């Protein structure tokens, strides 16, 4: 199965996000309400996007660290398909999100956001607890500090897919970066500024999809 | 200096939070917009609370993991005094928040939320980078799983205060728990449900303050 294309709406207002999204809505598979947009506008963007796009996968990137069931209820009540937990959350927090989601429907899921010094031992623990999705990051601020993708990223990604995780990759990805990952069964590819800030965002999204098709089929 | 008393508004709506807060507003030092309230309502609660309580310390508990300067701008523009970063964030993310805050005023600060498997080596790294505040947690979901405060918590707290951090403690704290920490120069004590859900929240907040005064002066 080829990777899905996800766009992170890391806008600072819902209106800006909607203006942006309408340009490339037909070319993407997953709409992400970015953490920045959540901080700015709360859960309302999820509600609005669900009303506008009833068939899309909508991800609420809240990076929950605690009170998993309660946060999950907020996200799934608003219409999210997926939500995120931060990797430093207690596994019980993640389990709380997952169980709450399952009560809303089988397609509801939780993604673990891999930031900082998480370990493969933790990953095994998450898998054993029934968590299925992880998001592998090159942090935005790490990027700004000049850190690129390297072999150690690919090794970790490979270990995670071998463990059976559905793995999403993100972090300043451009179309020309995708070939790096072509031998891995990546589940989802997140683009943000490289689509949102393109002079022609639809064309940019289509270029991602074309490259995904070329590499993974 | 005796610890400040902070109440976490972990409500799911701003209206509920305001109804709750007015009962004990005079008895607390720091108003926290909890992560739950941020997920529900975005940054608006900070704006409203700043308008209502111009003199209070207001904490935006967004647990930022990335895009530090941008998130800091959202928080400090809205009137937050302090904001939080998650411990698994890249140190550059925390530095971005801190620097952004300093441009708003000297009292603006960043607290690092200690969840999961953070290490003393990381803590040293944060301190070296100019970060001054940490929040030591017993996770809500870990509490529900029956984990109490123990000697290993006290040892870590002691190490953190020895390193020079201003340390906040949180996690289902009741008045009778406070004596556990009396030998440590705790900076801030967070109560949530034990004040918000008390039959007389003002009395509950005053009981915390009385115990803080008894133990730390």
Query: Rounded mean pLDDT of A101-125?
Result: 96
Contact (CB<8Å) B39/A36: no
Contact (CB<8Å) B66/A115: yes
The complex's ipTM works out to 0.93
Query: Rounded mean pLDDT of A116-140?
Result: 93
- Token pair listed for B76: 């400090």
Question: Residue A14: pLDDT above 70?
Answer: yes
Query: Rounded mean pLDDT of A101-128?
Result: 96
Q: What is the pLDDT of residue B180?
A: 95
- Token pair listed for B165: 């951090």
- Model confidence pLDDT, tens digit, residues A142-170: 677 777 888 889 999 999 999 999 999 99
Task: Determine contact: A32 vs chain B, CB below 8 A.
Answer: no
> What is d(CA A153, CA A151) in angstroms, rounded to the nearest whole number?
5
Q: What is the pLDDT of residue B140?
A: 65
- Model confidence pLDDT, tens digit, residues B139-162: 666 677 777 888 889 999 999 999
Q: What is the pLDDT of residue A142?
A: 67
- The DSSP annotation for A7-37 comes to EEE--SSHHHHHHHHHHHGGG-SEEEE-HHH
- Model confidence pLDDT, tens digit, residues A180-192: 999 999 999 999 9
By CB atoms closer than 10 A (0-12, 13-18, 19+), residue B116 is buried
- Model confidence pLDDT, tens digit, residues A190-201: 999 999 999 999
Q: pLDDT category, A20, cuts 50, 70, 90?
A: very high
Instruction: Name the CATH architecture for the domain at A4-216.
Output: Alpha-Beta Barrel (3.20)
Query: Rounded mean pLDDT of B68-77?
Result: 98
> What is d(CA A65, CA A50) in angstroms, rounded to the nearest whole number?
24
Q: What is the pLDDT of residue B139?
A: 62
Torsion angle defined by CA atoms of residues A165, B122, B165 and B70, in that order, rounded to the nearest 10 degrees: -60
- Token pair listed for B151: 């000697």
Q: What is the pLDDT of residue A147?
A: 74
Contact (CB<8Å) B65/A115: yes
Determine what percent of chain B is predicted with pLDDT higher than 90: 90
Query: Rounded mean pLDDT of B167-172?
Result: 94
Q: What is the pLDDT of residue A144?
A: 76
Q: pLDDT category, A139, cuts 50, 70, 90?
A: low
DSSP SS3 for B109: strand
**Over the range B39-66, which residues count as b (16 or more CB within 10 Å of their CB) and which as e?**
bbbbbbbbbbbbeeeeebbbbbbbbbbb
Contact (CB<8Å) A122/B117: yes
Query: Rounded mean pLDDT of B5-11?
Result: 96
Question: Residue B96: pLDDT above 90?
Answer: yes
CA separation, residue A28 to residues A8, A31, B3, B133 (Å): 11, 7, 50, 41
Q: How far is A70 from chain B (nearest CA, A)?
A: 8
Nearest Cα residue in chain A from B37: A42
Contacts of A99 in chain B (CB under 8 A): none
Query: Rounded mean pLDDT of B73-91?
Result: 97
- The DSSP annotation for B5-27 comes to EEEEE--SSHHHHHHHHHHHGGG
- Model confidence pLDDT, tens digit, residues B9-38: 999 999 999 999 999 999 999 999 999 999
Best B13, B74, B116 member to test A by mutation, with max A CBs in 10 Å, is B116
Contacts of A122 in chain B (CB under 8 A): 117
Q: How far is A107 from chain B (nearest CA, A)?
A: 22
CA separation, residue B114 to residues A146, A203, B153 (Å): 26, 42, 12
> What is d(CA A185, CA A182) in angstroms, rounded to the nearest whole number?
8
Q: What is the pLDDT of residue B149?
A: 87
């Amino acid at each position: 199965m080829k990777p899905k294309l996800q766009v992170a709406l890391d806008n600072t207002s819902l209106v800006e996000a909607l203006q942006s999204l309408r340009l490339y809505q037909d070319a993407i598979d997953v709409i992400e309400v970015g953490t920045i947009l959540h901080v700015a506008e709360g859960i309302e963007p999820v509600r609005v996007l669900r009303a506008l796009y009833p068939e899309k996968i909508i991800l609420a990137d809240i990076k929950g660290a605690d009170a998993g069931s309660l946060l999950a209820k907020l996200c799934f009540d608003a219409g999210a398909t997926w939500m995120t937990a931060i990797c430093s959350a207690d596994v019980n927090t993640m389990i709380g999100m997952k169980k709450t989601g399952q009560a809303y429907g089988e397609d509801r899921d939780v993604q673990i956001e891999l930031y900082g010094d998480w370990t493969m031992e933790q990953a095994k623990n998450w898998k054993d607890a029934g968590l299925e999705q992880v998001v592998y990051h090159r942090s935005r601020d790490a990027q700004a500090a000049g850190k690129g993708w390297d072999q150690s990223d690919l090794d970790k990604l490979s270990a995670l897919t071998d463990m059976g995780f559905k793995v999403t990759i993100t972090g300043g990805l451009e179309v020309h970066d995708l070939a790096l990952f072509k031998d891995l069964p990546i589940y989802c590819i997140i683009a943000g500024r490289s689509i949102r800030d393109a002079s022609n965002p639809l064309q940019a999204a289509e270029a991602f999809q074309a490259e995904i098709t070329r590499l993974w089929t």
